[in-house]
């Protein structure tokens, strides 16, 4: 049993150190007040693709911080995604295009092309 405790201590210290050094990624658009103007974003989708559906989704998490005093600060963070389902105008190939951090990026972070035979034949 003492051997297990001896191994658990370095693992716990390492986990705490890694957690403390981890930088939070936040790709949510800036928060707005009612008086702020409407935000506009231009995302690049090739002209050869016809957009069939668009979805905005965000995974939210609280970012809690504090010091030795009694106050604690919580800020909302998260990762925001715009997902676009598109079809090639000539070939009919289907695409899923994913955008992230739309305030700073116009280009997609991921493009998935669905194989036509797998889509029609139910996959293999």
- How confident is the model at residue 117, as a pLDDT? 61
Q: What CA–CA distance (Å, rounded) separates 21 from 120?
A: 47
59-91 burial code (b ≥16 CB/10 A, e <16): eeeeeeeeeeeeeeeeeebbebbbbbbbbeeee
**pTM for this one?**
0.65
Residue 114 pLDDT more than 50? Answer: yes
> What is the residue-wise DSSP string for 32-49?
--TTSPPP-------TTE
Overall number of domains in the chain: 1
Residues in the chain, how many?
124
Q: Domain span at residue 56?
A: 28-121
- How confident is the model at residue 10, as a pLDDT? 54
Q: pLDDT digit string (tens) for 32-42?
A: 889 999 888 99
> Is 98 a domain residue?
yes
Which positions ≥6 away from 22 have C-beta within 8 Å? none
Residue 44 pLDDT more than 80? Answer: yes
Q: pLDDT digit string (tens) for 47-87?
A: 999 999 999 998 888 777 766 666 666 777 888 899 999 99
> Is 37 a domain residue?
yes
- How confident is the model at residue 19, as a pLDDT? 47
């Amino acid at each position: 049993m003492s051997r297990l405790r001896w191994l658990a201590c370095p693992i716990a210290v390492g986990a705490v150190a890694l957690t403390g050094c981890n930088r939070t990624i936040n790709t949510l658009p800036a928060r707005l007040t009612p008086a702020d103007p409407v935000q506009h974003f231009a995302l690049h989708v090739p002209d050869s693709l016809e957009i069939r559906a668009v979805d905005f989704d965000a995974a939210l998490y609280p970012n809690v911080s504090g010091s030795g005093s009694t106050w604690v600060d919580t800020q909302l963070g998260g990762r925001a995604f715009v997902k676009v389902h598109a079809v090639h105008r000539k070939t009919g190939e289907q695409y899923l295009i994913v955008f992230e951090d739309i305030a700073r990026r116009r280009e997609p972070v991921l493009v998935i092309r669905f194989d036509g035979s797998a889509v029609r034949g139910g996959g293999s």
